[in-house]
Amino acid sequence: MEEKIIRPEPADYREWPEEELWERFAELAVRIVPADKGAFERCGRRWSHVAKPLGSLGVLEEDVQKLAAISGTEPVRIGKKALVVFCADNGVVEEGVTQTGQEVTAVVTANLTRGESCSCLMAGVAGADVFPVDIGVACGLGPLGSRFPLIDRKIRKGCANFTKEPAMTRREALAAVLTGMDMARALKEEGYDILAAGEMGIGNTTASSAVTAALLSADPAETTGRGAGLSSEGLSRKIDAVRRGLLLHRPDPCDGMGILRAVGGLDLAGLCGLCLGGAAYRIPVVLDGFISAAAAAAATALESHVPEYLLASHVSAEPAGERLLSFLGLKPAIRAGLCLGEGTGALALFPLLDMALEVYNRMRTFEEIQIEEYRPL
| 32: nearest Cα among 283, 221, 206 | 283
Separate counts of helices (H) and strands (E) for the chain: 14, 6
- Distance between start and end Cα atoms, the chain: 54
Task: Describe the crossing of helices 344-362 and 37-49 by its angle, rounded to 10 degrees.
Answer: 60
DSSP state of 50: B
Q: With left for phi above 0 and alpha for psi between -120 and 50, is residue 58 left, alpha or beta?
A: left
Tell me, yes or no, if 342 is annotated catalytic: yes
Given 342, 358, 368, 373, the catalytic residue: 342
Q: How far is CA 191 from the centre of its chain?
A: 19
Assess contact for 143 and 106: CB atoms under 8 A: no
Q: How far apart are CA 240 and CA 236, in angstroms?
A: 6
Backbone angles phi, psi at 136, to 5 degrees: 175, 40
Length of the chain: 377
Q: Coil, strand, or helix at residue 131?
A: strand
- For residue 319, how many other CB atoms are within 10 A of its CB? 17
Q: Which helix (H) or strand (E) holds 200?
A: strand 192-200
Q: Check if the beta carbon of residue 199 is closer than 8 Å to that of residue 85.
A: yes
- Residues designated as active site: 342
